[in-house]
Amino acid sequence: IVELSGGESLRANIALVKNNARLGAAIAAAYAGLRDEVR
């Protein structure tokens, strides 16, 4: 697929992984903030 797409599929998948990591970090930070408010 990488060869057929000229490497575009690889770039898209890397961007997706980075975005998912960014979103996961934001969710974790928000959750940690909520836990601190409850205490």
pTM of the model: 0.74
Q: Which residues of the chain have pLDDT under 70?
A: 39
What b-and-e string marks burial along 18-35, b requiring 16 or more CB atoms within 10 Å of the CB?
eeeeeeeeeeeeeeeeee
**pLDDT score recorded for residue 39:** 67
**Which two tokens mark 3?**
């060869």
- Show the domain range for 7: 1-39
Number of folded domains in the chain?
1
